[in-house]
Amino acid sequence: MRSIAKPLCLLLVGLVFALSLANSTAQAKATADEILARVIERYGHLRTYRDMEEIESVVMSRPVRGRVRTLFVAPGSIMVHIKANAGFSKVYVAHDGAVRSWTPTKGWQDLSNRGQLLSSVKGTTVMLGRATHWITSLLFPDEGQGAGLKSVSDVRRLEDDQVSGVACFRLRGKLRGGEEITIWVAMSELSIRRIELRDPTETATIEYQAELNPQIAADEVLREAERATRQ
């Protein structure tokens, strides 16, 4: 039995190595358009998602710092907490048919549907930079407001890079208005790790601490929303 087990173990190790090498080779040959399409596909089929976005931007010569936290459980539960300088705080939540928003001055208010929530998130995050609402658009590809990553054209690969020790593809392209955008995508899981936007009126850097398909109970979305109102 031992004489069979050792060669079998070596064979399995060899197969794993060969598959890993083949995957690395395929990644190295992937075009920028292929990588971007894989990211869009990946996010559109996530079961759960959690992230924290740290944003530093200058919009119309005005420096802005902010943070966006997102929690998502398919098919339709989501919590988005947006914070910015000057004490701005707003929470959006959709869960089990209820769709609401919260601010410190108005408290909880009902929204008509999830589409209104996504549109409101886009409108609120514009002050932090135009790319900050893209995650919600990716998580709800049939309802997301604006094309987001799909609007990026003339995409090309730059030299691969790292973000916080994570090996990343680095892509550069243009938005519809001609603005230059650079996107860092983790090679291992195709998660967005950083976005930089540059144009004459706006510069923005968004750092993502993202978890794809973590274990999240559906009611955790509500608990996180309530916790966000006390922060």
Instruction: Please tell me the total number of residues recorded for the chain in this structure.
Output: 231
How wide is the angle at C-alpha 125 spanned by C-alphas 215 and 93, nearest 5°? Answer: 40
- Share above pLDDT 70 across residues of the chain, in percent, rounded to a whole number: 84
Q: Provide the pLDDT for residue 39.
A: 96
Percent of the chain with pLDDT over 90: 59
Domain boundaries, the chain: 31-228
pLDDT one-digit tens code per residue, 111-144: 999 989 988 988 887 777 666 678 988 999 887 5
State pTM to two decimals: 0.84
What are the tens digits of pLDDT across the range 37-67? 999 999 999 999 999 999 998 877 888 899 9
Q: Which pLDDT score is estimated for 178?
A: 86
- Extract the tokens encoding 204: 């923005």
User: What number does CATH give the domain 31-228?
Assistant: 2.50.20.20
- Model confidence over 159-189: pLDDT tens digits? 999 999 999 999 999 988 888 999 999 999 9
The answer to whether the CB of 194 falls within 8 A of the CB of 185 is no
Confidence tier at 208 by pLDDT (50, 70, 90): very high
Q: Decide if pLDDT at 15 tops 60.
A: no
DSSP 155-194: EEE---EEETTEEEEEEEEE-TTS-EEEEEEETTT--EEE
